[in-house]
Structure 1
């Protein structure tokens, strides 16, 4: 079911240019960009009710990743607006660092890969300058890709502790609103800066024998990308 929903959304966005293709100028291309992502409230979720985390500092550092894929830009005839459906692959996640009063340190990494499906509604106020807003559904392809490194006993317990977090934290699909600022050159080169604002909880805590607290862990992603269109307006 979670695959069907984004496909339906993507089909609805495609139906407009396909239905009115005689009045729509369609271009298509590829894009690739770098991003920085964070998840809200993650240290609070992990600290939970475990008193062993007293007198400690746990911080979110965010994670750098990549985003790239295919776009279809459908500029409506005799207007300054366009609809741009996209299918993207994204690497994003979060890195958590921990230090306590007795000198223990560890680094926990959540490394997620997503198939992003969505679209933007774009407005062109002047030449290639454009502003866009839309929504994207991200299917989590690696919900349990977790890394763990510590200075405890020379890392002797890292494998077991990593499994502890893998069993206790499950990555979920993401749904985010997207706000974009871009510029399209006449040579088919596109520059694009985006902010993705997650609106759903995307990390589930298995609370059974763990002390994690379930709360809202929403994504926040900044992305700068470069695109190339294979057909000009």
Structure 2
């Protein structure tokens, strides 16, 4: 029993440190939404021109903040894809929808301003692309979900500001790391998304 005393003391000290740390932590749950400016980084033929597609994202976040460091997981519905055109066609759209789960580490500086970064895991819910018939001049839309991988991994990099009264503002760039092309084409396709969000902490506990 005597030999176990140091272990018990160590466990007790670590428990007290953990309780003290959580007592000083801020816990918050909130909602956020804003516009997306999405594009696709692809090795496809240079005859196709890709441009930004405007969409939106919306969802919820949780924040655990320890003084200058915070951990913020989120669940977001996100409209992505691209606007594109090829020889003789009008502007066409590739419309991808994802449920994204970023897990961010936030470094706070002054007055609630923070830098954040972390991995984002995306799960495809729909993928549609427009096609142009040069003979009839008609634009049609079809599902290409079987040609797009069901999951995606990105690196999220951003800058945010936690304002008084629970408001949050942040801008973020999601750099696609994985090739989402699963079709017959050998070209690589990666998501690229700029996001700008306004959020509100519905529940806030701690400082």
Using the size of structure 1 for normalisation, the TM-score is 0.72
1:58-77 Cα distance to aligned partner (Å, 9 max, x none)? 2001211111100001012x
- The CA distance in 2 between the partners of 1:112 and 1:125, in whole Å, is 35
Aligned: 1:25 with 2:17: no
The residue that corresponds to 2:98 in the other structure is 114
Question: Which has the greater radius of gyration?
Answer: 2
Deviation at 1:31, TM superposition (A): 0.2
1:84-141 Cα distance to aligned partner (Å, 9 max, x none)? 0111110111121012xxxx32544221110111211001111210010111100000
The residue that corresponds to 1:227 in the other structure is 199
Cα RMSD over matched residues?
2.5
Aligned: 1:61 with 2:62: no
Deviation at 1:149, TM superposition (A): 3.4
* Unmatched tracts of structure 2, length 5 or more: 1-17
- The CA distance in 2 between the partners of 1:42 and 1:65, in whole Å, is 23
Secondary structure, counterpart of 2:137 in structure 1: helix
Aligned: 1:200 with 2:181: no
Secondary structure, counterpart of 1:105 in structure 2: coil
The structure with the greater share of residues assigned to strand is 2
- The CA distance in 2 between the partners of 1:227 and 1:203, in whole Å, is 33
Conserved 8 A contact 1:43-1:59: no
Using the size of structure 2 for normalisation, the TM-score is 0.80
The residue that corresponds to 2:122 in the other structure is 138
Between Structure 1 and Structure 2, how many residues are aligned? 187
Conserved 8 A contact 2:160-2:169: yes
Pair 1:198–1:139, CA change in 2 (3 A): same
The residue that corresponds to 2:165 in the other structure is 187
The structure with the greater share of residues assigned to helix is 1
